[in-house]
Amino acid sequence: MNLKYFGRFLVVFLFFSTVSYAQEPELSPERKAAVDSLALEKVRDLSKYISIIGNKETPWSEANRVIERALELFMEGSEIGVSSVHRKKIKYYKMKDYFDHLMLLNYDQVNIEWFDIQYISDLKKQPDGRYVGVITIYQKFTGTTKEGLTYKDVTKKDITVYVERKTTQIDGIKIGFWDVLLGDIRVKETKKG
């Protein structure tokens, strides 16, 4: 292909790419309700995964399998905050590091329970075409040592939720769909349990 035709091809390609991006479908109210439901379901799945990973009775191989499943819920590079009533500073971990840390907590028994899971920030469209919202959860953590000492806290956390349009091919046909991924989990408040 000579340079003159390549240049025209590039201009036409960029034009149609821009047009198709601009015509990307909006998130209809019905679709938004389904996406909200899926986002809450993914947060509940994460809650179960964290409980399994943190449980000292979970076999190492099973915990690692669950970690892989949990990581699939997140945008790459997402972080989670970890807090304590004994220190003011919040530590942030990449998700894989957090799950590894969770398996190695220095307690004989660990119980992690999430409750009161709800949207606090409705999905809002961003300039890049994605929708972003925030789900708030409360986490009750209980850790008991061999000596019988118990640490308890309740932490309020905000989870960023990303919704974006993606495509896949099924039998050679391109299909568009809305996908939900979780982002950073920020600590808002930690109190004694």
Query: Can you give the pLDDT at residue 13?
Result: 38
> Which domains are assigned to the chain?
27-192 (3.10.450)
What pLDDT was estimated at residue 132?
96
Give the model confidence (pLDDT) of 32-73 as tens digits.
Answer: 899 999 999 999 999 999 999 999 999 999 999 999 999 999
For residues 121 and 134, the answer to whether their CB atoms sit within 8 Å is yes
The mean pLDDT of 158-175, rounded to a whole number, is 92
pLDDT one-digit tens code per residue, 6-25 = 444 433 333 333 333 334 46
Q: What is the pLDDT of residue 27?
A: 82
At how many degrees (to 10) do helices 29-54 and 60-71 cross? 160
What single-letter DSSP state applies at residue 26? Answer: P
Give pLDDT, residue 29: 86
Question: What stretches of 97-172 adopt beta strand conformation (E)?
Answer: 109-125, 131-144, 150-170
Interval 176-192: pLDDT, tens: 889 999 999 999 999 99
Does 122 score more than 90 pLDDT?
no
Q: Find where tokens 């479908």 sit.
A: 25
Residue 193: band (very low, low, confident or very high) from pLDDT cuts 50, 70, 90: confident
Least reliable range by pLDDT among 3-17, 138-152, 155-169 = 3-17
